[in-house]
Copies of this chain bind each other. A is one copy, B any other.
Amino acid sequence: MGEFELIQRYFAAAPCAQGGDGVVGGIGDDCALLALPPGEQLAVSTDTLVAGVHFPSVCDPFLLGQRALAVAASDLAAMGAMPMAFTLALTLDQADAAWLEAFASGLQHMAAACALALVGGDTTRGPLSLTLTVFGRVPVAQALTRAGARVGDLLCVGGALGDAAGALPLVLGQREAAAEIAAPLLARYWSPMPQLALGQALRGQATAALDISDGLLADCGHIAKASHVALQVEAQRIPQSAALRALAGQEGALSCALSGGDDYRLLFTLPPERLSGIQADWPDVRVIGQVVAGHGVHLLDAAGQAIDVPQRGYQHF
């Protein structure tokens, strides 16, 4: 099958490739064309997933399509951006029709959930990997960044952490678990829903934000560094799911939540007076610490004593 027929059959024909808000030109020309309303800017993020590194080489292509787009779209959530469009660069070692159909279907499913239109990309031959570039729009000067955290702000997360890291032994087939434990953890690994609505609600509220991909402590480090502050994280306040605790035990669950990565929950700093307003609409939001003067990230136990940080976030090299 030629590259063009392949793109046409599985991607250009998908509902998400039929245009969307701000999409002036999509698949089929040298460039896609996007229009922005006056007073808005474009937010752009690129993420690569490599087989055998970011996902198992042999996996369900529907789930892979879902996850790849979710991971990319989470960066739009982190900026408070409204989703618009994405491009897909897909490198495949072979053009297998069943695989492509399932992959495109998973991609389509997440595209619909996130209101993202597929506007272009590239299909190439080689070791399986995916690079997605996502586009969102955000009112001028209202994007959430990592740089605005202020001493006295609360440190908050958008929901339970560690599930995706806890699911990894299940994903890799190294471990089994009862369905009621495995299912919610695997769902968090394979289809982490980007917190797009929460991100938009945090515009003008949160002073700094990101999405947790490298692991809570590593990502706290990014906010601390960009904002020139220190972050105190209270270990016992970090929300963890019952399924994760059942699978990994209390200590294992904490380790997953602190350093596991792949959470794709928002981490943000918030002036204390704004907490109740946010929690009214987002009951899963939890305070896990606070912003203090200094630098770095400090993990505290229930008594407020410093705990040695068990390990760093995921490092590629």
Interface residues of A (CB under 8 A from B): 1-3, 6, 24-25, 28-36, 38, 41-54, 75-76, 78-79, 81, 87-89, 91-92, 94-95, 119-127, 129, 131, 133, 135-136, 138, 140, 143, 145-147, 210-211, 226, 315-317
Contact = CB atoms under 8 A, between A and B. Distances in A.
B133 A46 contact: yes
A193 B121 CA distance: 22
Nearest to A133: B133
21 contacts: A2-B316, A3-B317, A28-B226, A29-B79, A30-B78, A31-B44, A33-B41, A33-B143, A34-B44, A35-B140, A36-B36, A42-B42, A44-B120, A46-B121, A47-B122, A48-B124, A53-B125, A87-B133, A126-B127, A127-B127, A131-B131
Nearest to A31: B43
Contacts of A24: 41
A88 B133 CA distance: 10
Contact of A317 (B89, B125, B210): B125
B124 A6 contact: no
Contacts of A140: 35
Contacts of A49: 124
Given A122-B46, A122-B48, A126-B50, A31 B315 contact: no
* Copies of this chain, count: 2
B315 A2 contact: yes
B36 A42 contact: yes
A46 B78 contact: no
Contact of A46 (B2, B76, B89, B136): B89
